[in-house]
Amino acid sequence: MDVDIAVIGGGPAGATAARLLSRANRETILIERDLKNIKPCGGGLIGKAFTAFDIPLSLIKKKVESIRIVSPKGNTHDISMNPAFLAIVHREEVDEAQRKAAAAEGAGIIEGTFIDIRHGDKSSVLRIKTAAGETQLKTRHVIAADGVNSMVVKRMFGKFPRRIYTAHEIHSLDGYEDDFLLQRICEFRFGSVTPQGFYSWIFPHRDGISIGTGSEHAGEVDAYLDSLLRARGFINGPNGHRRGYFIPVWDGELYYKNGVYFVGDAAGMVLPFTYEGIYYAMRSAEFAVAAVLKNKPGLYKKLWQEKYKKRYLVMRALQRYFLRNDDRMEKLVSLYGHPHIREASMRLWTQDDVKINLIGGFSALIKKYGGVR
């Protein structure tokens, strides 16, 4: 079979790419290994994504308008996101809706698993395994959107993208006194109960709450999660089913090689510090599509860097500086006592069109109040 463009992976990145390519009348086939896949994910999607990518508002299950940050010593700040919000969605519903939207624009959808790639002069040949057996697909362009365990990356570079390990559980809130609050606030906890360099989260979820943490060292995550569950009184509660999964670590290196555009988690496009990835997966797909349509591979990197590089660098610098030890995490949380810092960081997070000077201004505020050199 021959096709102009093959998109591998039907999560937020792949479905967005297939939708935009088909809308531009380019012949596109999306290959997804499991159309019933439920991606392990908090499902927290920033409000601006809904208009930017035509996601139906009816998919929002819960709307979070405040975040809570908790320091190693238990000091707490509740920070309003207003007028922005974080939507809690069911990943399987959003992914399916986006794939259906791509199909409605004309994309072909195949349930099949990418196995291997062979590069030719002007095209590549993909080996795909489907229920009917193995098939080959010849294609001019490939969009690799197959997530953090990207087999395309593995085949082309011999290893997976750099990643950290997470574990989380979903708990029902029946019988818990603070359930009202937990349904409306996303809580980020720093220090002692979290591995170094990361945070623990408690997010609203359709079935109660999602509670989890992550680390570069897979071996320590379960013990940290156990102690967090105990600290929050969930250990004897309705037993959650624990799921482990990886999140990539951004290094800003991977965009395009040999006719293949890498987007979303396959390219590590997760915002440092917060590890927010759904929105940026979609954005990276949008930029890669622009490059395909103009037949200028270098345009993808250029567009992405113009829009997000500075923001990613600032977030990575903050993560490296503040999440190093309890003293610094305590300092970080105390900084949110300053209205300027609260306001600047919320704008940086929730607004896409922040100017470089806001990013620079935010860094200056952190240096001024935080004693960061």
Ligand X SMILES: Cc1cc2nc3c(=O)[nH]c(=O)nc-3n(C[C@H](O)[C@H](O)[C@H](O)COP(=O)(O)OP(=O)(O)OC[C@H]3O[C@@H](n4cnc5c(N)ncnc54)[C@H](O)[C@@H]3O)c2cc1C
Contact residues: ligand X, CB under 6 A? 8-14, 31-34, 37, 39-44, 113-114, 145-147, 151, 166, 168, 212, 245, 247, 264-265, 270, 276-279, 281
Rounded to an integer, what distance in angstroms lies between the CA atom of residue 124 and that of residue 149? 21
Smallest separation (angstroms) from ligand X to the CB of 22: 17
213 vs 363, beta carbon nearer ligand X = 213
Closer residue to ligand X in complex, CB, 308/370? 308
Whole-angstrom Cα distance, residue 287 to residue 337? 37
Measured from each CB, the residue nearest to ligand X is 277
Which run of H or of E encompasses 155?
helix 151-157
Q: Which residue carries 């596109």 as its tokens?
A: 28
* 352 secondary structure, DSSP code: S
Q: Beta strand pairing status for 260-262 and 133-144?
A: parallel
Q: Which is nearer to ligand X, 169 or 366 (by Cβ)?
A: 169
What is the spatial distance between Cα 167 and Cα 152, in angstroms, rounded to a whole number?
25
Instruction: Closer to ligand X by CB, 3 or 366: give it.
Output: 3
CA–CA distance, 250 with 99 (Å, rounded to integer)? 26
Kindly report the number of other CB atoms within 10 A of residue 114's CB atom.
23
Query: φ, ψ for residue 84 (rounded to 5)?
Result: -80, 175
Taking the least distance from each CB to ligand X, the nearer of 187 and 276 is 276
| Distance between CA atoms of residues 269 and 254, nearest Å | 9
> Least Å distance between CB 73 and ligand X?
26
Nearer to ligand X, 5 or 335 (CB): 5
- Closer to ligand X at the Cβ: 110 or 303? 110
- Least Å from the CB of residue 269 to ligand X: 7
Angstrom distance (rounded) from CA 292 to CA 81: 36
Do 263 and 255 touch, CB atoms closer than 8 A? Answer: no
Q: How far is the CB of 309 from ligand X (least distance, A)?
A: 18
Distances 86 to 134, 203, 284, 349 between C-alpha atoms, Å: 41, 11, 20, 11
Q: For the CB of residue 227, give the shortest distance to ligand X in the complex, in Å.
A: 18
- 3-class secondary structure, 331: helix
Nearest to ligand X of 152, 341 (CB atom): 152
Shortest CB 358 distance to ligand X, Å: 21
Helix (H) or strand (E) holding 77: strand 76-80
* AA identity, residue 157: F
Write down the least CB distance from residue 46 to ligand X, Å. Answer: 7
Q: Give the shortest CB-115-to-ligand X separation in angstroms.
A: 7
